[in-house]
Structure 1
Amino acid sequence: MNSANDVPSVSRLKIGFILARSFTLSAFALFVDTLRLASDEADKSGRVLADWQVLGSTRHLITSSCGVQVAPTSDFIDPSEFNYIVVVGGLLNSETPVDHHTVEYLKKAAARKVSLIGVCTGTFILAEAGLMKNHQSCVSWLHHDVFRERFPGHEVRADRIFNLDRNRGSCAGGSSAADMAAYIVRRHISKAAERNALEVLQIDKARTALHIQPRRPLSIESNDPRLKAALIIMERNIEKTISIDKLAASVGLSRRQLERLFVEKANSSPAIIYRRMRLERAKHLVMETDAPLIEIAMEVGFENASHFAKAFRKAFGQSPTKLRDVVAAVP
């Protein structure tokens, strides 16, 4: 991400917010309140060290997903006025979460090298505008599959709470919006400003970009963040499987270290657990869809139907064809 000195004419940390239709109020509130409390001492709310605006192509009220409305405070002024422009998304069922003028403004900001951040599904808006093609995106595990389907060829992860990739940022949303805002405050203002904001918000300590999203894959209990991250990465790479070496590297371990970790914490090897995930996904598809078995085999990373059938029978005690017949016979 750009440092404060990368954008000339900016004396304070300045952030512009773009709120999508049905945006997530909590994510916006936590982000902007972290800025507010970092900008002044105690809880005075003065815009001493930071400033922010809610930008809009019109001054019409923007309705959040919970029904609370927020009014833009500024038109689309020169994007170079800001260190960051933060797009706060929300519900995915809106076909046009922002209008054409907003998309053009974001493209203009990108052309002027202003750092862009997607919060919650705001990353979808940036990707739809073609602004995340060469950057890694971080989205909630709830939205990972939808993102991958909509934007093939984009690098996306759903294990971390937020991600910073050069002049693009992305955040899973929810409480992690405060963590990302705290990082920006610490980077551009000071640790003291960050501490002031977090203390007033009753947050003990900001989580880093390496923190794992609070979700437990499968039924494996573990507090080890490296194991959690590896499991989520496996879960998100069922169709296009990745090697154990690459999996280990993605969580900062060697293959041997990863294997030792899995044996210690999960009483199994990463390869066995990965195959189990793939076969559980296959079992669901066999029972819930009419897809040909060869398609299911390919979707969960098997090269041919014969190999798939053997692995399936070993795991579940019957062939995929037999299981589908049993399911079909149930009235």
Structure 2
Amino acid sequence: MPIDSSLQRTKRPKSEKPRLSIGFILAKRFTLCAFANFVDVLRLAADEGDRSRPILCKWTVLSDTMNPVLSSSGISVQPNERLGDPTRFDYIVVVGGLMDETPKLGPLYHKFLNQAADKGVPLIGVCTGAFLLHEAGLLEGYRCCVSWFHHLDFLEQFEGLDPVSDQIFVVDRDRLTCSGGASSAHLAAYLVDKHVGRSQASKSLHIMIIDEALQAEKPQPGQPIKLKTRDPIVQRALLLMQQNIDTPISVDDLSDRMGNSKRQIERHFRLALDTSPKAAYLEMRLDIARHLITTTQKSIAQIAMDCGFCDSSHFSRTFRRRFGATPKVLRQSAPLEA
């Protein structure tokens, strides 16, 4: 009896091993979105269509106790396996969560992660997972990606590290980190592309209604500002400016950090925004100052410092030239916005 051709296409040898195997460690109050985006890319790449069989990719949630893990959204995830031998995985992923509520991982997790590192298993930090990897002593000497929102928190808590917060993810040898949210889908797609195939990575993203895979260097979305552009060089420069509002950096510093020449940055700003980097930086600082004046009860002097002005008088004069009123007059005339 002839075999149906459709069955021939889906039948696979039982002995075929997954090309990509990943173990997840979820911190208490982990970010569900970041975890789900990562897993769904693997799920959709693992099988034909949307059948979800773990054929080409395999994933599992690991635990030291097997107790359910509560996410920041209040939804719990039940682990599948105990920690065991880390070498059964191609990667170990640590998914962090809320900055103020993420507890440290326990000693068994630290032991497991250090065993993985000693045996050459690459480690991945998703969202605030980078914080947890560093607390385990596993990010020393590595570049790591953190969300722009947690950039200052990382600097305050982890002295001596230089976090990258103007990219969606960072690959530095056997440490991979991403800022969470949608960026975890792009990091997962990077792994699928590398180990399974580009077509499977593209398929996953398309089913998830993500237009295309983004490279690691793609700038993170930052705080809302009025300066809008699709130019990636200008986007990265604006993001770095945002992260250094209180201590403004020069265009030369931007050039050094970005790896682009000063002339190239200035040319891109002129083409994209019809202004100079210096003028754009000042406009950004004043816009943020105006936002703080109308939405917070911070003193004018504190806002001046927060926005990188050397003294309140200079701040007030510059603010008046831009908005036609001093910060004090604006605050008196406009009630605090919600």
TM-score bracket for the superposition, by shorter chain length? 0.7 to 0.9
Q: 2:115 aligns to what SS in structure 1?
A: helix
Counterpart amino acid of residue 219 in structure 2? I
- Cα distance in 2 for partners of 1:276, 1:195 equals 39
Pick aligned residue for 1:316 from 311, 319, 325: 319
Q: Which consecutive residues of structure 2, in runs of 5 or more, have no partner in the other structure?
A: 1-16
Are the structure 2 counterparts of residues 137 and 240 from structure 1 closer, same or farther at C-alpha, using a change threshold of 3 Å?
farther
Cα deviation for residue 15 of structure 1 reads 0.7
- Cα distance in 1 for partners of 2:107, 2:287 equals 42
The residue correspondences of 1:116-131 to structure 2 (distance < 5 A) are: 116-131=123-138
Q: Does 1:172 align with 2:198?
A: no
Are the structure 2 counterparts of residues 135 and 301 from structure 1 closer, same or farther at C-alpha, using a change threshold of 3 Å?
farther
Are the structure 2 counterparts of residues 239 and 135 from structure 1 closer, same or farther at C-alpha, using a change threshold of 3 Å?
farther
- Cα distance in 2 for partners of 1:240, 1:80 equals 45
Partner of 1:271: 278
Partner of 1:41: 48
Pick aligned residue for 1:189 from 193, 196, 199: 196
Asked whether the 8 Å contact 1:24–1:64 carries over to 2, the reply is yes
Are the structure 2 counterparts of residues 326 and 54 from structure 1 closer, same or farther at C-alpha, using a change threshold of 3 Å?
closer
- Cα distance in 1 for partners of 2:122, 2:187 equals 14
Cα deviation for residue 21 of structure 1 reads 0.5
Cα deviation for residue 278 of structure 1 reads 5.5
Counterpart amino acid of residue 222 in structure 2? R
Partner of 2:63: 56
Most deviating of 41-50 and 270-279 = 270-279
Asked whether the 8 Å contact 2:127–2:179 carries over to 1, the reply is yes
- Cα distance in 2 for partners of 1:259, 1:270 equals 6
- Cα distance in 1 for partners of 2:118, 2:188 equals 23
Asked whether the 8 Å contact 2:30–2:102 carries over to 1, the reply is no
Cα deviation for residue 49 of structure 1 reads 1.8
Counterpart amino acid of residue 187 in structure 2? M
Q: 1:164 aligns to what SS in structure 2?
A: strand
Most deviating of 273-282 and 185-194 = 273-282
- Cα distance in 1 for partners of 2:50, 2:263 equals 50
Most deviating of 88-97 and 308-317 = 308-317
- Cα distance in 2 for partners of 1:234, 1:269 equals 13
Are the structure 2 counterparts of residues 243 and 113 from structure 1 closer, same or farther at C-alpha, using a change threshold of 3 Å?
farther
Give identity over the alignment, percent: 41
Are the structure 2 counterparts of residues 105 and 252 from structure 1 closer, same or farther at C-alpha, using a change threshold of 3 Å?
same
Q: 2:82 aligns to what SS in structure 1?
A: coil
- Cα distance in 2 for partners of 1:48, 1:32 equals 14
- Cα distance in 2 for partners of 1:269, 1:56 equals 52
Most deviating of 106-115 and 160-169 = 106-115
- Cα distance in 1 for partners of 2:143, 2:111 equals 22
What is the aligned residue count? Answer: 313
Asked whether the 8 Å contact 2:62–2:82 carries over to 1, the reply is yes
The residue correspondences of 1:101-250 to structure 2 (distance < 5 A) are: 101-215=108-222, 217-239=224-246, 241-250=248-257
Counterpart amino acid of residue 102 in structure 1? Y
- Cα distance in 2 for partners of 1:235, 1:152 equals 21
Pick aligned residue for 2:91 from 53, 78, 84: 84
- Cα distance in 2 for partners of 1:41, 1:35 equals 12
Q: Does 1:74 align with 2:74?
A: no
Give the superposed CA RMSD. Answer: 3.3
For residues 297-327 of structure 1, the C-alpha deviation after alignment (integer angstroms, 9 at most, x for no partner) is 6x7667xx6xx46743541359xxx978998
For residues 111-154 of structure 1, the C-alpha deviation after alignment (integer angstroms, 9 at most, x for no partner) is 22221111111112112222223222222222222222211321
Partner of 1:28: 35
- Relative to the length of structure 2, the TM-score reads 0.79
Asked whether the 8 Å contact 1:262–1:269 carries over to 2, the reply is yes
Cα deviation for residue 208 of structure 1 reads 1.7
- Cα distance in 1 for partners of 2:172, 2:239 equals 20
- Relative to the length of structure 1, the TM-score reads 0.81
Asked whether the 8 Å contact 1:282–1:300 carries over to 2, the reply is yes
- Cα distance in 2 for partners of 1:141, 1:79 equals 31
Partner of 1:18: 25
- Cα distance in 2 for partners of 1:140, 1:267 equals 29
The residue correspondences of 1:286-301 to structure 2 (distance < 5 A) are: none
Counterpart amino acid of residue 274 in structure 1? Y
